[in-house]
Amino acid sequence: MPNPLANFVEQLMSGPKIRRGWEGLRHTIVGLAHDYWKDGNWERAAAPAANNLKINCDFPKVSVEPPVERDPIISSMGLWHAQPGEISEKMWGQGCVTPGDKHVTDLLIKPLGLTKEMSVFDLSAGLGGRLRQITEKFGVYVTGLEPDPDIAKRGMELSAAAGLGKHAAIEAYDPMSLTTPRLYDCIIARETIYRVPDKEKFIKSIIACCKSKAQVSFTDYIVNSESRDHPAMIAWRAFEQGADPIGLVEMAEIWARAGISIRLHDDQTDYYKKEVKAGLVKFAKFMASGVRPDAETKRAIEKRITVWAHRIAALENGMKFYRFYGLRS
């Protein structure tokens, strides 16, 4: 079976503008095919459309220091069995499941003016790295919700292990059934709204969790109407279940109808793409260190890489990554 990581990078290399920028990563990953990848028989996790995906992206060179990795969970057979969210951690850093998490967290919290008297509600807690960063810096209580139950469970374990089980608590939730017994001063989220089917209902339920002068700070993918029918966008939405981003004007209007005025929208796409590349370089170096994944982890790696292949293609063909800040009227 072909090495899906090598296949992914070969596709990235299809554009002549990026050959030099990706050459080192390409050789590292292709080399893995001759090491561990050929030793297992397992089903492909990727959609058939991914096999024909053509990506043309122009990333500047990024210098990435060799990562200092914690030891992965090793089975009795000497194989790595990735814990929930751990593959993403190998890309983005310990406790992080999204690109550039520490920097983006700073962007999200800067306009909030946090004090220890304020309460924060995070609707995309992940493994809780962001929550723990906020509570350690400001002394605030952060309530975290995460759509993936397995990631939420492990994230709560990490918060408890750090002695922050109460200050940075994490629970699983269904975005379409959001309720809370208390009201919050600040709502934050990362890349959440784009995959919620009924965005109007979800945002109204968010407002129901807000105090009268609450603030919202979030990031999301944006696709304006002129880009929605691009083949890369169609392929991405077909592969990533539930992905359906809206346009910039639509985003502002849907929040306005719910009573939130969007005061700031900031295009962070160029930074985001650099972070994606840096994370893939980091992951390639980790895999090249000799770790050998089990069959389940191989399937998870392929799915994660294919998701990013589609997202990169979308980002190079009209999709944007925005940071937003708003106030309740």
pLDDT tens for each residue of the chain, 329 residues long: 445 555 555 554 454 433 444 444 545 544 554 444 544 433 333 333 333 434 344 433 333 334 344 456 665 568 999 999 999 999 999 999 999 988 999 999 999 999 999 999 999 999 999 999 999 999 999 999 999 999 999 999 999 999 999 999 999 999 999 999 999 999 999 999 999 999 999 999 999 999 999 999 999 999 999 999 999 999 999 999 899 999 999 999 999 999 999 999 999 999 999 999 899 889 988 888 888 999 999 999 989 988 998 999 999 999 999 999 999 98
What does the pLDDT read at residue 11?
A: 53
CB atoms within 10 A of CB 52: 8
Tokens of 309: 């292949």
pTM of the model: 0.82
Nearest C-alpha neighbor of 218 from the set 66, 111, 81: 111
Nearest C-alpha neighbor of 298 from the set 287, 311, 285: 287
What does the pLDDT read at residue 5?
A: 55
Q: Does domain 1-329 have CATH number 1.10.10.10?
A: no
What does the pLDDT read at residue 27?
A: 52
